Structure 1
Amino acid sequence: MPKLTIVANIRANPDQVDLVKAELLKLIDATRAEAGCVNYDLHQDNENPSHFMFYENWDTRELWQTHMNAPHLAAYMTATDGAVAEFLLNEMTILS
């Protein structure tokens, strides 16, 4: 089965950029240590600092689902409640 690619776009409220960025950065080490995580890379838009994007690859969808239920992700959700204007997630499969 092909690996699962996740592209997650997060847009912070303009007055909450620093908080959201700090909380997103906290996710990186814990997530990279999870079973099935191939890469977990955070980006910030050069023109719009409130726009963040994770580019992730996982061995399987099941292992990514485990990540989605991880305590550090729940802590992020609590810490950023009301600070995120938009969250868009795409599950993708590499074609070539």
Structure 2
Amino acid sequence: MVYVIAYLKAHADKGDEVAALAAPLIDATRKEEGCVSDDLYRKVAGPDTVVFVETWKSRAALDAHFAEPHLKAFQAAMADHLAEVRVEVVYPEKIEVL
């Protein structure tokens, strides 16, 4: 298994917009081959930060996800909404930061 933890910090008061734009992405991602789970959380102390927690069967499945049109569309839509992004790919033996 491969896990992804993606932290997206929106500009002030844009957290609701980011979460709303993420809903269709999550629905499409959950249907992808190799996706075990994809959930979105919001920080209680920082509602403009959303956190994706994903589980993938393999790195190959995750790589296929990175090429999906729905992910690329989400990334384009986020261009003006985000102040910071940190994506961690977690393996049993290491953590890769994208």
Matched letter for residue 28 of structure 2: A
Aligned position for 2:37? 39
Match of 1:85 among 83, 86, 90: 83
- After superposition, the C-alpha distances for 1:20-51 in whole angstroms (9 at most, x for unaligned) are 11111221110000000001011001111001
Q: 2: CA distance between counterparts of 1:91 and 1:79?
A: 22
| RMSD, aligned CA | 1.2
Quick check: 1:5–1:94 contact (8 Å CA) kept in 2? no
Structure possessing the higher relative contact order (Cα contacts under 8 Å, 6 or more residues apart): 1
Aligned position for 1:64? 62
Identity of aligned residues (%): 33
* TM-score for both structures, normalised by structure 2: 0.88
- After superposition, the C-alpha distances for 1:36-70 in whole angstroms (9 at most, x for unaligned) are 00010110011110011111110010110111111
Moved over 4 A (4+): none
Matched letter for residue 66 of structure 1: A
Name stretches of at least 5 consecutive residues in structure 2 with no aligned partner: 94-98
Aligned position for 1:29? 27
* TM-score for both structures, normalised by structure 1: 0.89
Q: 1: CA distance between counterparts of 2:41 and 2:13?
A: 19
How many residues are aligned here?
Answer: 93
